[in-house]
Structure 1
Amino acid sequence: MCYILSHIQKRKVLVVMASNPINEDGTKRSLQNRHVQMIAIGGTIGTGLFLGAGNSIAKTGPSIIIVYAVLGMFFFLMMRAIGEMLYASPEEHTFVAFIAKYLGMGPGVFAAWTYWLGLIFVAMAELTAISTYVQYWFPTWNTSLIQIVFLLVLGSVNLIAAKMFGEAEFWFAMIKIIAIIALIAVGLMMIFTGFKDASGVQASFGNIFHHFQMFPHGMNAFIAAFPMVFFAFQGIEFVSITIGETKNPRKVLPKAVNQTIYRILIFYIGAMVIIMSINPWQEINPAQSPFVQVFKLAGLPAAAAVINFVVLTSAASALNSAIFSAGRHLYTSAMESEAAALKPFRHVSKTGVPSGGIFLSVALMFVSPIISALPQITSAFEFVTSASSDLCILVYALAILAHRQYKKSQDFLSDGFLMPAYKITSPATIIFFAVIFISLFFNPGSVIPAVGAIIWCIGFGGSVWLRYRKPAEVPAK
């Protein structure tokens, strides 16, 4: 009976949400389907594709397609698990809230603060990238000043209203999509017209398999590509954070999550196939964007400038999403805590955004311009940024564990947006995340951040466990 009443109550809440654009906490459901779809795409596409693809191909050759396909499948399964919980409780502002709800306060607090700090450092890294891209055109401009301007502009965009963030992200994502579609279209034209480069190599799908080697630089290089591509996909979960401020969430959510796999196939794998068809994988310069190489071959002399503009908008998009997400995560953590120190971050502005959470998140991001002015600590900054990114693996794994507990709870909707074959795919996804973390040790550049992530888990995770552990039961006499 309680189970039935719970479902009836949830459906009543959803009817109210569909007719009322304002949540009970004051946040507004002003994001539309087109915003959510573009945010999902924008979260999937980053500088890892535009700039890092050449390095990935150089290390693994055509087998990089396998890496992207495998990671794409498991990220899709993770999103289906998160999507199932959000479909049942679309009033939640972040998927991390489910970790506390179904695994307990200890894991929830650990995941919330770990993910929030990770977002802060991701934003700082994107700020550093933005200043580098702007200096491509204006090399004499001050790095710190560039970062301050971008942070003030995008911070203001996030403070105005969720719809303003959605509009900004819509156009940021549109630029990236146009660039990828242009690459695929130009590449197909070059292939079907028999284009030949200066050395006489003809564009052909056969270039992918010419002198094919599964592990051209050894098994270790192949395994090391997995964490590299994993971080390229990181941010795909941002779409889940928009659901709490989306109109008709149950209508929008399944489309946004299900279409993720198609975006991965088209934008990542499709781009890789075209790039290796135009440029044989053995000849790709890992230090240069493969997009630039293809457009230059097609006769676009301004290719470098155009792609620089695209990666600039890509970095700005990632920063925009990180600000949005960090503000919501801090707000959720403050609402779930009774600590008086977090009370200011429970505030929702008249425009329906968690302004307190956004203010503090943006304020911490201002550390990035300071770091840029102190080159002697740049390596330490990169270490902390990489370590925080590594911790996302743990947060993702905790989200899957929370989903398994959700299945056993009264919240479970048997007719909801179900994760396919979860009894098999759920443990497989958790195991896969564990394998990804182990694979970090196959890449010399990732060893130190991985160790740092372990130290964070033991230090912060241990303190949280001691604070929130259940008191031992006194044996009956």
Structure 2
Amino acid sequence: MDKQTDINADGTKRALSNRHVQMIALGGTIGTALFLGASTSIKKTGPSIIFVYMITGIFFFLMMRGMGEMLYADPSQHTFIAFISRYLGKRTGYFAGWTYWINLICVGMAELTAIANYVQFWLPHAPSWLIQIIFLALLASVNLIAVRLFGEAEFWFALIKIIAILAMIATGFFLLFTHFKTSSGAVSLTNITSGFTLFPNGIKNFISAFPMVFFAFCGMEFVGITTAETKNPRKVLPKAINEIIFRILIFYVGALFVIMLIYPWRSLSTSQSPFVQVFSLIGLRAAAAVVNFVVLTSAASSINSVIYSAGRHFYQLSLDSNGSFMQHFNHISSHGVPARGILISVTLCLLAPLLSLLPGISNVFALIAAACSDLYLIVYALTIAAHYRYRQSADFLPNGFLMPAYKIIDPLLIVFFGIVYLSLFLDANNQIPAILGIVWCAVFGFFASREKSTVPNVAPKPLN
């Protein structure tokens, strides 16, 4: 590809290579929820949690196929929100765009707060706000300098997570084949199969595990957002998306299987990472420090991706708006990145260190962040609805990257998202955030329906 075709029409650069995109796809599939939150998921429903991960993973894969089909047809788009505007109307796109962008800001703030806790594992007296500002400044710089630097950072962040999981899986099978005995008993398949029941803690706990697993997978769509800045997008994107299902099986299902293989699941503590518990059980004294380093890089990876994605989404919002204020952000810098969109997103993330200085605010923020996470379900459902309309539109690319049986799968996906949202009400901790999510949809949805600053939909540009 020559230099001319390395630059998109809007000035952004296709600087991400296949190596970067494959690792971004891997990193987006593996989140902090696996390293820290898997114990809670396992305790909720025992070995049958594997089925929850497999079912949710299949639906996520199908969602990515629908998203991937639209991005393959028009790789010039920086976000999948553009397709919601195009096929469901600009006001629906306005609602989805702002909702998703605010979600990203809340995720970034939550991860920043977590980073401070991880660093204080080694530096207990370091001020939380200072740690957050340093990390945010470093990762913002990575995103502002060049998209390739973002890709390189994500490559190494993802590699650390992958090595940690593969090391645990390899260790687990080695212990199994050598009949290793721990203080909790022998490493054996009987830790999983003995007294197995599908709903050991009741069907209510089984169903309420779905939201926990669902939110563990959120962020997988980041690989699609990189499409416009990827070399050979129509070659790289299908490969990255098609391999998602194998990553889920290896990294999530494989890790959970090995955790329960080594450690009797009823003995797991929900207050500690299952990785720490497993490595400590087999005699690795530095387990806590090693896992803390891994989750620190995982959180840094999440913020890095949030800054990248939030900057592109705000840039898209500025393109879709006629408002005079938003016009200041529809520019691409000389480095080929939407610098103003990145900067305003980073500025809002600075609320996290500010909140860490104020007593009693953290619980309110946690509630808002949880409500924002619930709105992922709404945005994903709108994306699939847009895909259904795309397949019936003149833009449909019959020889593209097709989702199979879309007339069945698209409605099934929307029903699944609805069931997951309803299941939030089965857990007392999720009920208020779920209600706040509905209130947001009602109030902001009303204002979005009356919004007059959005511009008419633009026809897709073919890839040259």
Q: TM-score range by the shorter chain?
A: over 0.9
Residue in structure 2 matched with residue 186 of structure 1 by the alignment: 171
What is the DSSP-based 3-state SS (H/G/I as helix, E as strand, rest coil) of the residue aligned with 1:402?
helix
Does structure 2 conserve the Cα–Cα contact (< 8 Å) formed by 1:44 and 1:264? yes
Indicate conservation of the 8 Å contact 2:16/2:148, yes or no. yes
Match runs of 1:10-29 below 5 Å: 20-29=5-14
Structure 1 pair 333–469 and aligned structure 2 pair: CA distance change class (3 A): closer
What is the rounded CA distance, in whole Å, between the counterparts of 1:159 and 1:198 in structure 2?
50
User: Which AA in structure 2 matches 1:286?
Assistant: T
Find the aligned partners of 1:18 and 1:256 in 2 and give their Cα distance.
24
3-state SS of the aligned residue for 2:336? coil
Of 159, 175, 188, the match for 2:144? 159
**Aligned counterpart, 1:259:** 243
State the match for 2:427 in structure 1: 443
Q: Out of 427, 450, 454, which is 2:438 matched to?
A: 454
Residue 218 of structure 1 deviates from its aligned partner by 1.6
Query: Is the Cα–Cα contact under 8 Å of residues 84 and 382 in structure 2 kept in the other structure?
Result: yes
Contact kept in structure 1, 2:315 and 2:341, CA below 8 Å: yes
Q: Would you say 1:130 and 2:119 are equivalent positions?
A: no
1:311 aligns with 2:282: no
Q: Distance in 2 between matches of 1:453 and 1:180?
A: 34
Question: For residues 82 and 18 of structure 1, what CA distance do their matches in structure 2 show?
Answer: 28
Q: CA deviation at 1:376?
A: 1.1
Partners of 2:21 and 2:236 within 8 A in 1: yes
Provide the rounded CA distance (Å) in 1 between the counterparts of 2:400 and 2:11: 27
* Separation (CA, whole Å) in 2 of partners of 1:276 and 1:23: 48
In the alignment, is residue 426 of structure 1 matched against residue 410 of structure 2?
yes
Tell me the residue number matched to 2:55: 70
Q: Distance in 1 between matches of 2:353 and 2:404?
A: 45
Report how far residue 375 of structure 1 moved.
Answer: 2.5
How far apart, CA to CA, are the structure 1 residues paired with 2:425 and 2:453? 31
**Does 2:302 match 1:321?**
no
Is the alpha carbon distance of 1:395 and 1:182 closer, same or farther for their aligned partners in structure 2, counting shifts above 3 Å?
A: same
Q: In structure 1, what is the Cα distance between the partners aligned to 2:289 and 2:297?
A: 13
What is the match of residue 24 of structure 2? Answer: 39
- The answer as to whether partners of 2:321 and 2:453 remain within 8 angstroms in 1 is no
Whether 2:385 is the aligned partner of 1:401: answer: yes
Which amino acid in 2 is paired with 1:83? G
Q: What are the ranges of 5 or more consecutive residues in structure 1 without an aligned counterpart?
A: 1-15, 471-477
* Paired residue secondary structure (1:57): helix
- 8 Å Cα contact 1:184/1:274 also seen in 2: yes
Residue identity opposite 2:89 in structure 1? G
Counterpart of 1:273 (choices 242, 246, 257) is 257
**Corresponding residue for residue 135 of structure 2:** 150
Counterpart residue identity of residue 330, structure 1: F
2:211 to 227, 231, 240: 227
Equivalent position of 1:4 in the other structure: none
Contact 1:186 / 1:298 at 8 angstroms: preserved in 2? no
CA distance in 2, matches of 1:223, 1:136: 34
Q: Which consecutive segments of 4 or more residues in structure 1 shift more than 3 A?
A: 16-19, 467-470
Deviation at 1:213?
Answer: 2.2
Match of 1:475 in 2: none
Q: Is the contact made by 1:18 and 1:247 (CA closer than 8 Å) also made in structure 2?
A: no
Equivalent residue for 1:58, pick from 43, 49, 52: 43
Q: CA deviation at 1:44?
A: 1.2
Cα distance per residue 1:54-77 (max 9 Å; x no partner):
111111100100100000000000
1:299 CA drift (Å): 2.0
1:102-130 alpha-carbon deviations (Å, 9 max, x no partner): 00011100000000000000000000000
Equivalent pairs counted in the alignment come to: 454
Alpha carbons 1:17, 1:23 under 8 Å: kept:
no
Q: Secondary structure at the match of 1:340?
A: coil
SS at match of 1:353: coil
1:180-203 CA deviation, whole Å, 9 max, x = no partner? Answer: 00000000100000011124x111
Cα drift, residue 467 of structure 1: 3.2
Between 60-69 and 287-296, report the one with greater CA deviation. 287-296
Asked if the contact 1:90/1:249 (under 8 Å) is kept, the reply is: yes
TM-score, normalised to structure 2, is 0.96
Within-5 A mapping of 1:67-216: 67-199=52-184, 201-216=185-200
What displacement does 1:468 show? 5.7
What residue identity is the alignment partner of 1:138?
Answer: L
Could you tell me which amino acid in structure 2 is paired with residue 76 of structure 1?
Answer: F
The letter for the 2-side match of 1:391 is L
Residue 421 of structure 1 and its aligned partner are, at CA, apart by 1.4
Are 1:382 and 2:369 matched, yes or no? no
Q: Which amino acid is 2:319 matched to?
A: M
- Is the CA contact 1:38–1:169 (under 8 Å) kept in the aligned structure 2? yes
Per the alignment, in what secondary structure is the counterpart of residue 121 of structure 2?
Answer: helix
Is the contact between residue 21 and residue 240 of structure 2 (CA under 8 Å) also seen in structure 1? Answer: yes
Letter in 1 for 2:304: N
Q: 8 Å contact 2:147–2:336 — kept in the other structure?
A: yes
Structure 2 distance, partners of 1:367, 1:133, is: 19
Q: Is the 8 A contact 2:208 2:423 kept in 1?
A: yes
TM-score scaled by length of structure 1: 0.93
- Cα deviation digits, residues 219-272 of structure 1 (max 9, x gap): 221111100111100000001110010010000000010000000000000001
Distance 1:17 1:287 in 2: 53
CA contact (8 A) 2:323 2:453 kept: no
